[in-house]
Structure 1
């Protein structure tokens, strides 16, 4: 199990931190160099290291991981639980306001934007939130439920509330109407 988790860590760092167009063999030197040289990839580096330590380490490593997680939360303004299982290829467009609970199981190639919440109804609920591969989540979305499954190749539009399962190869969004009332003609209502 630990070997598989270590290989997953290396693959995540290869995809998210090194991110070369022409793939080269994994190297810790290359990963650390890229994390230091490219500020927008530092979050991925530190979150992946902290998550690995938290899920696979002893008490001392978990304490270190929690300290790293706390510093990341304070610096970047988002809270992705170290217990969340996220596949390779995570991309975050804007770091502000993202919350992902520890009972989330997310596949490969997730693209997420600001102010997104992926969570559960209450602590200790029996079901997890399972999200498939190649998911694109718009800004200000809220995915909350117990035992909901969002399939692969799904696009979730901005400002969408999801509390039910979503099948594969789907676009989901909440249709909203804006109502404009003219000040010049108070009885005229225009739906946009």
Structure 2
């Protein structure tokens, strides 16, 4: 992305995730909401990290990594700086959420606690390693999305404690069936 596009993307993300308003973007409103509302601080700082990481400056990239390390320590949520996420990110509970930097995510993405999105690391280098997630996707608590070159469509709901390692078409509800066995002693 060009610098102007990055800036426009940052403003739109902060407007939707931190200001949570239809009003035009304003740094004053954004700072006010980021520091008044603790539940919006992670999004504020992660969007700054993403902006700095995508700059051309090595110093700004280094600063992005430093801020991201502090976010990981404070929130126990690791979204790597290279991750591309559209406006509308919602992390329900900041506990053990991990998203790999090779992930491209659309708008209005919601993820819950103890969820992982990552690559398997077994790619033969013939295809680009990416996990692409569409718009309006929800990931349930304890879910794991692992694979190389996965595509998850738009308007998908992934149930709690699901394991996903294959493509999912648009407009789907996906869950891993579990069976509970109780044996009397």
Structure 1 runs, 4 residues or longer, greater than 4 Å off: none
Matches within 5 A, 1:60-99: 60-99=59-98
The answer to whether the aligner puts 1:14 opposite 2:50 as a matched pair is no
User: In structure 2, which of residues 146, 151, 154 is the aligned counterpart of residue 152 of structure 1?
Assistant: 154
SS at match of 1:152: coil
TM-score, normalization by structure 1 = 0.91
- Match of 1:168? 170
Bigger Rg over Cα: 1
The answer to whether the aligner puts 1:179 opposite 2:178 as a matched pair is no
Output the CA distance in 2 between the equivalents of 1:15 and 1:80. 19
Output the CA distance in 2 between the equivalents of 1:112 and 1:173. 15
Task: Give the drift of 1:122.
Answer: 1.2
Output the CA distance in 2 between the equivalents of 1:164 and 1:123. 14
The answer to whether the aligner puts 1:51 opposite 2:55 as a matched pair is no
Output the CA distance in 2 between the equivalents of 1:34 and 1:172. 35
Output the CA distance in 1 between the equivalents of 2:24 and 2:159. 37
Distance 1:145 1:10, change over 3 A: same
Output the CA distance in 2 between the equivalents of 1:85 and 1:123. 22
TM-score, normalization by structure 2 = 0.95
Output the CA distance in 2 between the equivalents of 1:182 and 1:59. 62
Matches within 5 A, 1:60-139: 60-122=59-121, 126-139=128-141
- Match of 1:186? none
- Match of 1:189? none
SS at match of 2:145: strand
Distance 1:151 1:78, change over 3 A: same
Output the CA distance in 1 between the equivalents of 2:122 and 2:179. 34
SS at match of 1:143: strand
SS at match of 1:165: coil
Distance 1:11 1:159, change over 3 A: same
Task: Give the drift of 1:123.
Answer: 7.9
| Aligned length in residues | 181
Q: Any idea what the Cα deviations from partners look like across 1:101-151, whole Å, max 9, x if unmatched?
A: 000000000010001100001187532000000001000100011111000
CA RMSD of aligned residues (A): 1.2
